[in-house]
Structure 1
Amino acid sequence: MRLGISTPVVVQTPGVASAWERDAGIDDVVRIAKAADELGFDYVTCSEHVAVPGDQGEGRGFVYWDPVATLAFLAAHTSRIRLATSIVVLGYHHPLEIAKAYGTLDRISGGRVVLGVGAGSIEAEFTMLNASWPDRGARADDAIRALRASLSDPRPSYDGEFYRFNDVIVEPCAVQPHLPIWVGGRTRRSLRRAVELCDGWMPFGLGRRALAEMLSCVDIPDGFDVVLGPGPLNPLGDPATTARRLRALRDVGATIINCSIDAESVEHYCDQLAALRALADNIELENP
């Protein structure tokens, strides 16, 4: 069973983040990333918001570490675990800017980047950054096509509805010949975008019934990742509930489970990771 972790500290959502995260720093994040790396977890994450409007903090929180800086630092302290953005907001960047930043990260990490992208959800942030809100979905589709043309090609060219470029050189570029792109979101359109243009879907805020219904309406391509989150897990304190949630998402169609962990300290978090890995390995030995 493939497990990723929704990295603590670097994003602190009210009602989800643990109290210890408020005073934690990069050394704590590195400790967690190294533990996850050694235990065989699939990826760590980092999200993007440039500047959260003051009236949006109650539900979203205000702590969002920059994903390029954060994941580059973690790359230097790990060797195998992948580095996933969850997510980069496409409308805030030109595709070539994303290709340069994450192509460089892919190069320095030895080919470990997963580019999670999304259309965006905070209109005020779009306005603040002079990004276009009404057509963000169409622009996201075009940006993904432009990224596919440019992430792994040092001499990219593209002629789309919103983005056009040729006769340019982008060095360094990604070392992965086909860098995975996952789409975040919670709508049928986000799933359609993921299936048609990308390599995976990582929804949020959807129950198992809604997920099962949405997934049943599309033909999932071979090798396509469905990345689902079970909510905060407590494998040491409540292994039965943890196992039940993992099985339920596996049965819905998850190929990777994006795990949030209940913990009282960084030490407790690492112990929880080890317990979660053992629990998932035992589930893998069961008959489906």
Structure 2
Amino acid sequence: MRIGISTPVVSVIPGRTADWEMDAGIEEIAEIAQHADRLGFHFVTCSEHIGMPPGVWSPQLPNGRGTRYWDPLATLSYLAGKTERLRLVTNILVLGYHHPLEIAKRYGTLDRMSGGRVVLGLGVGTVEAEFKVLGVPFEGRGPRADDAMRALRASLSQREPEYHGEFYDFDGLVIDPHAIQPRVPLWVGGHSKRALRRAVTLGDGWMPGAPDMDSLRTMLAGFPERPQGFEVICGADSLDPVAHPDQVEETLAEMEEAGVTMVPFRPVHRSFAHYLEQLDALAALENFTPL
């Protein structure tokens, strides 16, 4: 199993965030990323929210989403300079908050700076109040996101991009620098059937959060014709390879059997040192596939 890390510290989720994360900063994040890089983990992540109203929750986060979210471009740019191999994943970037050319320029620059390590995890967004304060439409965000993904695909790796769609229309511009990967991976966030359809038709992977494996099997069975190399990236909460390595191996094996190809590691951890121990313990498992 290919495993990355669901980066600690960068977001504070009620009921999930450890006490030590509250006062930790970029030094701890960088050391974790460097340690994961040496061990052969595949990626680090960073989420995006511009400004969160208190008390926002979701079915997967019944205690609330919290209000601390580090900016992904700033965070991943810093980590790019501290690591050599880790992929730099936005999880997720809200499409409605940005023009596709803004994403192409900013993350294309990061792709060039990092030697081609950017993965764009993208989503339509769900926090209506955030859309409102940014002055962007909440209604119709699904079709707008689809058009944005098509526009991104047409522009991310192009010096002179051209796209003519329903919501976005551009040509006659030079984007320099731009991404050096011929095809920057686009992973679609969201646990709905609509999100999976968007991922299969427009993207390179699907990030449904941490669904139960029976639901995942059912969802994937509805889309048997997925693109070659299509990734299914699912989290698993409360993994503890230090204390229960056999249990973690069983969990990862079940996830792989259900169709998961990559896992953002989110372990049980009581301290910064304990988090590093968990990385070591996971990397020692037989079904850990290093980068």
Partner of 2:177: 172
Tell me, what secondary structure is at the counterpart of 1:241? helix
Letter in 2 for 1:247: A
Q: Report how many aligned residue pairs link the two structures.
A: 283
**What does residue 39 of structure 2 align with?**
39
Give the match for residue 92 of structure 1.
Answer: 97
Match of 1:283 among 271, 283, 287: 287
Q: Distance in 2 between matches of 1:215 and 1:142?
A: 24
Residues 1:253 and 2:250 aligned together: no
Cα distance, 1:283 vs structure 2: 2.8
Amino acid at match of 2:36: A
**Partner Cα separation in structure 1 for residue 55 and residue 136 of structure 2:** 19
Name the structure 1 match of 2:28. Answer: 28
Contact kept? 2:211, 2:234, Cα under 8 Å: no
Q: Deviating runs (4+, > 3 A) in structure 1?
A: none
Q: Using the alignment, how far apart are the partners of 2:247 and 2:117 within structure 1?
A: 32
Alignment-derived partner of residue 59 in structure 1: 64
Q: Which residue of 2 aligns with 1:210?
A: 215
Report the CA distance shift for 1:284/1:109 in structure 2 as closer, same or farther (over 3 A). closer
| Deviation at residue 241 of structure 1 after TM alignment | 2.2
Q: Calculate the TM-score normalised by the size of structure 2.
A: 0.95
Supply the distance in 2 between the matched residues of 1:87 and 1:160 (Cα, whole angstroms).
23
The answer for unaligned runs of 5 or more in structure 1 is: none
CA shift in 2, pair 1:193/1:35, >3 Å: same
Is this contact kept in 1: 2:4–2:262, CA < 8 A?
A: yes
Greater helix share, structure number: 1
In structure 1, the residue matched to 2:80 is 75
Structure 2: distance between partners of 1:256 and 1:216: 18
Question: Which segment is superposed worse, 248-257 or 144-153?
Answer: 248-257
Give 1:98 shift: 0.6
Task: Please give the secondary structure, in 2, of the residue aligned with 1:64.
Answer: coil
Query: Which secondary structure state, in structure 1, belongs to the residue aligned with residue 56 of structure 2?
Result: helix
Q: How far apart are residue 232 of structure 1 and its match?
A: 2.4
Amino acid across the alignment from 1:169: V
* CA distance in structure 2 between the partners assigned to 1:65 and 1:71 by the alignment: 10
- Measured after TM superposition, the shift of residue 271 of structure 1 is 1.1
TM superposition shift of 1:205: 4.4
Instruction: Specify every segment of 5 or more residues in structure 2 that has no aligned partner in the other structure, as ranges.
Output: 58-62
Secondary structure of the corresponding residue to residue 128 of structure 1: helix
Matched ranges for 1:66-215 at <5 A? 66-215=71-220
1:234 aligns with 2:237: no
The amino acid across from 1:265 in the alignment is: S
Structure 1 vs Structure 2 CA RMSD = 1.2
Alignment partners' CA distance in 1, 2:129 and 2:284: 43
